[in-house]
Amino acid sequence: MNYKVNLIQKFKNKESKISIIGMGYVGLPLSLNYAKNGYQVTGIDIDSNKVELINSGKSYIKHISSEIINNYISNSYLKAKSDFHEISNSDAVIICVPTPLNIHREPDLSFIRNTLDNLKPYLKKGQVLSLESTTYPGTTEEELLPLIESKNFKVGEDFFLIYSPEREDPGNKNYTTTNIPKVVGGITKNCCDVGVALYETTIKKVVRVSSCRAAEMTKLLENIHRSVNIGLVNELKPLAEKMNIDIYEIIRAASTKPFGFEPYYPGPGLGGHCIPIDPFYLTWKAHEYGMHTRFIELAGEINKSMTSYVLEKASDALNSNNKSIMNSKILILGVSYKKNIDDLRESPSLEIIQLLLNKGANVSFSDPYFKTIPKSRKYNFAIDNVEIKPQNISSFDLVILATDHDLFDYDIIKESSNLILDTRGKFTPSDKVIRA
């Protein structure tokens, strides 16, 4: 049997079955994209609550509607499971699990390794396995390839192994799974051919690269580019302030240049599952080659320092009103890592809350996407959620705008606040509005 030709034909005819492991901000949209295009999709997640919600046609991600999930569940294009048995019936297996850093800023591949242990018994000849989780160059060869070879499969002949980095931007209405170009690299040319066939029927543009390492490095470059440039404007922000220059005005003016400049904006720190984490995957791997990636690490240090900068500015703002952080009532506006989404991963707001609590502040929050702040590996807050009303806002000594959701009523916030610390450049500086 020509496994390559058979698989490619199955993908083109939409006769293939797809299993996607990890039903988070990457895996769920990808599953829905395949279901929308007529594929039979099984979403696999060890979180039984997510599985139950999907099978009930309910969404747990704000920008994905329950109606869409229910539609594909009802017509049997999508189902969810918490076990891995369905892998044996699948033509393609796509891994979309987290790749965090440990406390030493070293790659934590435990989610990938546990997934590989779970799916190993169900792999068979004639399948393609794709890793989408962001990781260092060499992971596919070093972690996945030995597993396939241990089953006596011949990669590129009777089994196909690829790496195709996720490029999701939660909450972005202009760019979705369908129209964001997909980079694909394979262990062999045959692997890459199959990988391109896997994705090209549901994604408008597929970009082939020479190897899995090249695809892995591509993803890291994308996020390092953003980290370094955000680090640059974060470094310039306090300098511009001391020079009595509005950094946002400067960015707007520079953006009028039609070539050679791309705007990046300062903030209270970096959040999300990519930019604060991914650059350090390459930093860690560079040590294996005797290299020290100083530029990447410096940007990381600057971006990480911004939460402390916000704390310092909060202290200065309160001091100007003859108050200290201790026992002051402080309201944090926005706890997700960026505007208009319900994602808390690596959110700088959480670090700011912790720093304020450590200083003895009485902290509350307001966020239209969260009623409470769920417990995480690093944080466990039991603080009040405050509705945006004049009488509520006016009761706080300081309001810190950390995430500039469009759903906030900024007129009420500005008119009712005693003192505002603006980390997003949303308000014009005044006697009661201080930039941070």
CA pair distance 11, 29, nearest whole angstrom: 19
DSSP, collapsed to helix, strand or coil, labels residue 296 as helix
Identified catalytic residue from 96, 191, 192, 274? 274
* C-alpha distance from residue 233 to each of 229, 250, 274, 398 (Å): 7, 10, 19, 25
Whether the CB-CB separation of 214 and 207 falls below 8 Å is answered with no
- Spell out a b/e string for 99-126, using b for 16 or more CB atoms within 10 Å of the CB, else e: bebeeeeebebebbeebbeebeebbeee
* C-alpha distance from residue 291 to each of 2, 101, 122, 316 (Å): 43, 20, 40, 41
DSSP bridge partners of 80: 43
Question: Which of these, 257, 436, 1, 246, lies nearest to 10 by C-alpha position?
Answer: 1
> What are the structure tokens assigned to 389, written together?
């009303």
**Phi and psi for 235 in degrees, rounded to 5?**
-70, -35
Whether 274 is catalytic is: yes
Catalytic residues: 274
